[in-house]
C-alpha cells in the first residue's frame, strides 16, 4: 500500500450513517477526533497467522521493528511507534478541521484518509484533553513529515 497524502477538503459520513440530532452542537467545534479503518490495507500487511504472539514465530508476524517508510536513515522501531496501516486492528485516528455541518454531511479538511474510508467514531476535539506538558519525540517524524500537509495546502 503506497503512502497517500491528506485530502485538502472533503465531506465525510460515518458507518452507520449519523442522524441529524447526533451532530447537534458539533458545529461549535473547530476540530474533530476521527477513528477510521485502513480499508485499503490487506490482512497480509499485518498478520499471517495470529495476534497471539506467544503462539506465533517471528516469521509469522508482520508486526516487527522496521525503519519508518523503509528509509534506512532512521533506526528500526516497533509497530506501535509507526502511524500507518501495519497495525493489529488497522485503525487510525486523525484530527481534521471541521469546516461545516450540513445535515448528515460533515465537511472537514486535513483528514488523512482515503475517500470512502469507513469511519467508526468521531468526537469533538477538546483542547483540555490534548497532550499535557511538552510533547517529546525523536527527530525522524519531523524529517519524514515535514511536507506531509504541503500537497493538501497547495
Contacts of 45 (CB under 8 A, 6+ apart): 1, 62, 85, 86, 90
User: Which H or E run includes 120?
Assistant: strand 119-124
For 86, list phi and psi in degrees, rounded to 5.
Answer: -85, 70
What's the topology of domain 7-148? Elongation Factor Tu (Ef-tu); domain 3 (2.40.30)
**Residue pLDDT tens, the chain, 154 long:** 333 444 455 555 554 555 677 888 999 999 999 999 988 887 777 654 444 555 555 555 556 777 788 888 888 888 788 888 877 788 999 999 999 998 778 899 999 888 888 888 999 999 999 999 999 999 988 998 898 888 666 6
Give the pLDDT confidence score for residue 78 in this predicted structure: 81
> Is the pTM for the entire model greater than 0.85?
no
Domain segments of the chain as ranges:
7-148
Q: Residue 126: which of 30, 34, 22 has the closest Cα? A: 30
* Residue positions counted in the chain: 154
Q: Residue 7: which of 110, 122, 123, 102 has the closest Cα? A: 110
What is the phi-psi region of residue 42: left when phi exceeds 0, alpha when psi lies from -120 to 50, beta otherwise?
beta
What is the phi-psi region of residue 94: left when phi exceeds 0, alpha when psi lies from -120 to 50, beta otherwise?
beta
CB atoms within 10 A of CB 80: 9
Amino acid at each position: 500500500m503506497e503512502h497517500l497524502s491528506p485530502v485538502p477538503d472533503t465531506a465525510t459520513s460515518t458507518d452507520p450513517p449519523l442522524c441529524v440530532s447526533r451532530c447537534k452542537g458539533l458545529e461549535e467545534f473547530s476540530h474533530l477526533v476521527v477513528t477510521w479503518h485502513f480499508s485499503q490495507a490487506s490482512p497480509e500487511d499485518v498478520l499471517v497467522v495470529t495476534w497471539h504472539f506467544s503462539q506465533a514465530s517471528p516469521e509469522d508476524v508482520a508486526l516487527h521493528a522496521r525503519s519508518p517508510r523503509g528509509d534506512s536513515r532512521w533506526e528500526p522501531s516497533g509497530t506501535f511507534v509507526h502511524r500507518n496501516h501495519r497495525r493489529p486492528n488497522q485503525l487510525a485516528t486523525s484530527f481534521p478541521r471541521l469546516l461545516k455541518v450540513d445535515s448528515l454531511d460533515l465537511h472537514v479538511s486535513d483528514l488523512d484518509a482515503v475517500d470512502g474510508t469507513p469511519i467508526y467514531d468521531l468526537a469533538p476535539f477538546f483542547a483540555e484533553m490534548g497532550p499535557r506538558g511538552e510533547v517529546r519525540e525523536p527527530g525522524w517524524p519531523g524529517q519524514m513529515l515535514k511536507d506531509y500537509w504541503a500537497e493538501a495546502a497547495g
